[in-house]
């Protein structure tokens, strides 16, 4: 029995009338017998139809022949009546002679007429029968090849992976999420009503195919001039999801309709609805309503509120576009449409809908991973599979420090924006390691969305003079010291004659000075003194695995290596281990309480000899204090490092260190084209400086570094992490109040006075117009800042911070720390001028 159309049905499982149990596999033999029976009945029907059509044609021909004979009989009777009158003597004879001819002539004319009409009749019959026959054969073929219901359930791809930062904040999810299968007890009425209202209002009143809905959709599509609405029912969508492919063909639509009829005959309406909710895709890797509820709201499906249920129901039409993790506004707008549809179907009242709209929906999961972190996520994927296998959903506690990652991305982006085009620098990469080897931050390129190639890990380029660190460390281990004197002079080794970058020869110099000034001729002599094989052995001990050519020019970096390898080698010197083990995963948890993997403290690593290591650290510090790396100096910080520039300025490097961190930077071009005389002591050293200057304040606050015990800590939801406070603008006797006019996003006009916001590099155009619309009729309060510029507040909030955080302006290089952090946030979220 179907529910009465006048009453909205209450979702709740009703007993099945016929068919297999819910979720069970259909009886394939019974299905086969059903198909054969249907095909036989179809053939018999076609035969009967053809026989009837042929019989009708024969009877029609016979009727025409009988009519012709009756006409001849009337003519003969008429002639007989005329013969009773007087006539000439030869009349009977003539009539006698003509009669047979006339009789034969009439019968022949009827047969000729019938023969003339036969092709027309045959063509008419074929015109009717052929399309019907072809359509019937097409449907019969679709029926015979119909797959069993539920035989093609969609494969959801890789397992679900939730990735946490080193402090437990969730920042990324990957893979496919599968929740629990819904039962009658788990199905919230609001979700059932919402799905039916927005997807198939006549779900409880049709037989799997809604002819009325098809007609309505066709009419609206014709009026709209294109496909604007589909006519598929929930039943059709269900059988497509669990049995058929998603290709848009007539064959698939035919089989979909036939399977929908079978599902309606073998399953109850609520079983179909539950199956549909279990199979539908809700975006962000969530398959099924329960998985979506847990993915977006951190709760099972049965705990969904009305606004949450409306939001989920609105996603199934366009899950990739409306997933609230990247389009929360669009998801909320669609939820409003669903609520109104529920009002129209009588599922809820208008008062309920209005109350649901007023109630805010809070996501329990952060937005999609910031684009820059995807390089890190790609890198850990092989390690994850090796450590945890490939089965079951897992949560990974990584080593990534989100604060340092944001600083690293900002430092690279600012330098590329400022000087990249002028110096012909197209790409950059950066790695930040802790003293223990944890990868705290990684920038694999300028823009992950443009290129997923990780230049920090996958690219191998010539390091230039950066490789001299290994050359000098080998020399110190062989007995030389920082005070050993060598002569800077022309050198020739076979066909190779290295020159210094500045073309000068300084005569006798200590190794400390030669290393600080990156003198090539001295490095070449050291290579001859200690031997190239010994230098290669040192590189291997410090973790460089790339092939290194055993040639004299290796001392100047003629072998290709990755940024990760070189940064790890410098980290080995800082930590005193050979090699320093770099890692990106602290722990992995599965469904069981016991962790799948917890990283243990490394044991058995060899230690670098103390005296050579101390001399190497002193030489690295000399590079920054008085050598080629002076641009990396940070006031109040102990900094060491080494610059590197490859031949023809194709690569520029700087790897530096503080007591807590090792930072490697590379800049260059993907096509290996030369830059505009870019040395490692310029942009790479500048990126290091910008990063360390801001990172030092974080480290000074004593943020805990990742440990095995911290890896076991519970996840801290991102929504519970408070944003950094924005300092209010100082207000005093020199304050200026008023409704401003916008000159640009960093400059305002208030009461005839021009106000330049402190630390803001203003933008014009549409950004200025948007700011003007935002500030219309709103008063701001401004007062002189501590430096050249003005601090203004709007409703107690720092106006400059609001503008920069919304992507309305850039922060100047000398801007206060809060504005730089606001710009980092805007860059990461791709808002305003940082949007694509």
Residue 173 structure tokens: 């999810």
pLDDT confidence of residue 649: 96
Q: Which of 167-176, 310-319, 352-361, 489-498 has the lowest mean pLDDT?
A: 167-176
The beta-strand segments (E) located in 420-570 are 427-434, 439-443, 485-488, 507-510
Whether 406 has a pLDDT exceeding 70, the answer reads yes
% pLDDT > 90, the chain: 40
pLDDT of residue 493: 94
Q: Mean pLDDT across the chain, nearest whole number?
A: 80
Across the range 604-612, mean pLDDT stands at 85
Q: Where are the alpha helices (DSSP H) in 84-162?
A: 91-144
Q: Tens of pLDDT along 551-605?
A: 999 999 999 999 999 999 999 999 999 889 999 999 999 877 788 899 987 776 6
The reported pLDDT for the residue numbered 264 is 86
Greater confidence, 826 or 156?
826
Say if residue 544's pLDDT is above 90: yes
- pLDDT surpasses 90 at 144: no
Burial class (CB in 10 A: 0-12, 13-18, 19+), 817: middle
What the block records as the tokens of 802 is 């609001």
Torsions phi, psi of 714, nearest 5?
-75, 155
Return the higher-pLDDT residue of 398 and 718.
398
- Answer whether residue 444 shows pLDDT above 70: yes
Q: What is the dihedral of CA 281, 282, 288, 294, to 10 degrees?
A: 150
Which residues are CB-contacts of 594 (< 8 A; sequence separation ≥ 6)?
Answer: none
The distance from CA 765 to its chain's CA centroid, rounded to whole angstroms, is: 31
**DSSP type of residue 778:** -
pLDDT tens digits, one per residue of 80-114: 665 554 444 444 444 444 444 444 455 566 656 65
pLDDT at 519: 96
Q: Is the Cβ–Cβ distance between 173 and 230 less than 8 Å?
A: no
Dmax (CA) for the chain in angstroms is 162
| Residue partners of 407: CB distance under 8 A and separation at least 6 | 441, 691, 694, 695, 698, 824
**3-class SS at 138?**
helix
pLDDT at 530 over 60: yes
* pTM of full prediction above 0.75: no
What pLDDT does residue 355 have?
Answer: 92
The CATH code of the domain at 182-358 is: 1.10.3810.10
Kindly state the percentage of the chain with pLDDT values over 70.
74
744 contacts 768 by C-beta, under 8 angstroms: yes
DSSP 9: P
pLDDT exceeds 90 at position 427: yes
Q: How many CB atoms lie within 10 A of CB 821?
A: 23
Higher-confidence residue of 77 and 448: namely 448
Average confidence (pLDDT) over 370-384:
90
Q: How confident is the model at residue 53 (pLDDT cuts 50, 70, 90)?
A: very low
- Does the domain at 405-582+610-710 match CATH 3.40.710.10? Answer given as yes
Lowest-confidence region among 21-35, 731-745, 788-802: 21-35
pLDDT at 397: 94
Pick the CATH number of 726-834 from 3.60.15.10, 2.40.50.90, 3.20.20.80, 3.30.1600.10: 2.40.50.90
Mean pLDDT of 615-641: 95
Q: Is the pLDDT of residue 49 over 50?
A: no
């Amino acid at each position: 029995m179907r529910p009465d159309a006048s009453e909205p049905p209450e979702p709740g499982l009703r007993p099945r009338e016929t068919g297999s149990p819910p979720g069970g596999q259909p009886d394939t033999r019974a299905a086969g017998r059903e198909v054969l029976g249907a095909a036989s009945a179809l053939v018999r029907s076609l035969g009967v139809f053809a026989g009837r059509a042929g019989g009708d044609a024969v009877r029609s021909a016979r009727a025409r022949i009988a009519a012709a004979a009756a006409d001849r009989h009337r003519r003969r009777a008429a002639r007989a009546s005329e013969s009773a009158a007087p006539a000439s003597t030869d009349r009977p004879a003539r009539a006698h002679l003509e009669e047979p001819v006339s009789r034969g002539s009439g019968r022949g004319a009827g047969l000729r007429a019938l023969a003339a009409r036969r092709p027309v009749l045959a063509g008419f019959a074929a015109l009717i029968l052929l399309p019907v026959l072809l359509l019937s054969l097409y449907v019969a073929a679709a029926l015979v090849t119909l797959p069993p219901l539920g035989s093609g359930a969609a494969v959801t791809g890789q397992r679900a992976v939730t990735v946490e930062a080193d402090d437990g904040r969730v920042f990324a999810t990957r893979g496919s999420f599968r929740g629990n299968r819904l039962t009658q007890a788990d199905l919230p009425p609001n979700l059932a009503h919402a799905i039916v209202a927005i997807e198939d209002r006549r779900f409880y009143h049709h037989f799997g195919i809604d002819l009325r809905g098809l007609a309505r959709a066709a009419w609206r599509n014709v009026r709209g001039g294109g496909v604007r609405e589909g006519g598929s029912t929930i039943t059709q969508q269900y059988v497509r999801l669990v049995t058929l492919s998603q290709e848009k063909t007539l064959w698939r639509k035919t089989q979909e309709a036939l399977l929908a009829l079978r599902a309606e005959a073998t399953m109850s309406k609520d079983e179909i609805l539950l199956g549909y909710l279990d199979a539908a895709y809700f975006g962000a890797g969530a398959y099924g309503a329960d998985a979506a509820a847990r993915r977006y709201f951190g709760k099972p499906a049965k705990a969904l509120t009305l606004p949450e249920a409306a939001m989920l129901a609105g996603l199934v039409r366009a899950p990739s576009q409306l997933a609230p993790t990247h389009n929360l506004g669009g998801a909320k707008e669609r939820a409003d449409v669903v609520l109104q549809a529920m009002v129209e179907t009588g599922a809820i009242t208008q008062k309920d809908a209005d109350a649901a709209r007023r109630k805010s929906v809070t996501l329990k999961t952060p937005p999609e991973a910031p684009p820059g972190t995807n390089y890190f996520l790609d890198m850990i994927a092989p390690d994850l599979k090796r450590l945890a296998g490939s089965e079951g959903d897992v949560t990974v506690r990584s080593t990534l420090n989100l604060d340092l990652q944001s600083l690293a991305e900002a430092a690279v982006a600012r330098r590329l924006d400022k000087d990249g085009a002028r110096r012909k620098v197209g790409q950059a990469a950066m790695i930040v390691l802790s003293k223990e080897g944890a990868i705290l931050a990684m920038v694999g390129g300028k823009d992950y969305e443009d290129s997923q190639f990780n230049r920090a890990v996958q690219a191998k380029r010539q390091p230039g003079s950066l490789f001299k660190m290994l050359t000098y460390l080998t020399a110190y281990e062989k007995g030389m010291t920082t005070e050993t004197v060598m002569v800077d002079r022309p050198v020739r080794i076979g066909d190779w004659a290295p020159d210094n970058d500045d073309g000068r020869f300084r005569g006798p110099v200590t190794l400390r000075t030669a290393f600080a000034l990156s003198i090539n001729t001295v490095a070449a002599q050291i290579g001859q003194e200690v031997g190239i094989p010994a230098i290669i052995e040192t590189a291997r001990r410090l973790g460089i695995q790339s092939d290194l050519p055993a040639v004299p020019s290796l001392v100047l970096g003629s072998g290709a290596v990755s940024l990760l390898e070189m940064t790890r080698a410098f980290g080995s010197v800082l930590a005193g281990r050979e090699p320093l083990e770099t890692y990106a995963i602290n722990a992995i948890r599965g469904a069981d309480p016991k962790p799948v993997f917890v990283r243990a403290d490394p044991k058995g690593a060899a230690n670098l000899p103390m005296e050579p290591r101390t001399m190497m650290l002193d030489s690295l510090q000399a590079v920054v204090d008085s050598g080629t790396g002076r641009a990396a100096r940070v006031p109040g910080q102990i900094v060491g490092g080494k610059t590197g520039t490859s031949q023809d300025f194709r690569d520029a490097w700087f790897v530096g260190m503080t007591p807590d961190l090792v930072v490697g930077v590379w800049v260059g071009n993907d096509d290996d084209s030369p830059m505009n005389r870019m040395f490692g002591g310029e942009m790479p050293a500048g990126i290091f400086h910008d990063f360390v200057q801001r990172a030092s304040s974080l480290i000074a606050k004593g943020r805990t570094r990742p440990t095995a015990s911290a890896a076991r800590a519970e996840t801290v939801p991102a929504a519970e992490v408070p944003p950094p406070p924005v300092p209010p603008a100082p207000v005093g006797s020199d304050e200026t109040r008023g409704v401003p006019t916008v000159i640009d996003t960093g400059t305002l006009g208030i009461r005839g006075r021009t106000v330049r916001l402190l630390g803001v590099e203003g933008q014009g155009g549409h950004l200025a117009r948007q700011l003007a619309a935002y500030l219309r009729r709103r008063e701001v309060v401004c007062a002189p800042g501590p430096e050249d510029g003005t601090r203004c507040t709007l409703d107690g909030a720092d106006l400059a911070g609001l503008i920069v955080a919304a992507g309305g302006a850039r922060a100047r290089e000398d801007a206060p720390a809060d504005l730089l952090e606001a710009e980092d946030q805007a860059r990461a979220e791709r808002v305003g001028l940082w949007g694509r």
